[in-house]
Amino acid sequence: DTIQAAILRAKLKHLDKWNERRREIAKRYIKNLRGVKGIEIKKPKEWAEPVYHLFVIETEKRSELQKELSKNGIATGIHYPIPLHLLKSFEDLGYRKGDFPVSEKCAERVLSLPMFPELKDEEVDRICEIIAEFLS
């Protein structure tokens, strides 16, 4: 509608600045979490310039880590809890659990950390400290 279009048009001038801040936050997460055992961070290709709409880690202890972060007032998300081939909308394709084990494993392990331009460096550092302490 026209109201949404007007709001988004006004926000568009800030998009480059917001995307750059997300990149800075992602770099900070990567730097702080490098070497923490028990998590994986997917690195983008050298030629890519991601805007980090989400910052996703993988861990075998996803549920426990999510609870620990929540206990400390940190909201996280599980944006891809079900692999595509197991979604009801794709059931007519006939795929079953076990047909795509890599995507199923990822769906059980992914956790999205806070990612928004207003996130302060100190907040990112604290999130990383909690993760490192919990997984050590």
Q: What percent of the chain has pLDDT over 70?
A: 100
| Long-range contacts formed by 101-110: CB under 8 A, 24+ apart | 106/58, 106/80, 107/80, 107/81, 107/82, 107/83, 108/62, 109/40, 109/58, 109/59, 109/60, 109/62, 110/56, 110/57, 110/58, 110/62, 110/78, 110/79, 110/80
Give the model confidence (pLDDT) of 115-132 as tens digits. 999 999 999 999 999 999
User: What domains lie within the chain, and their CATH numbers?
Assistant: 2-135 (3.90.1150.10)
Q: What is the pTM of this model?
A: 0.88
pLDDT at 1 over 90: no
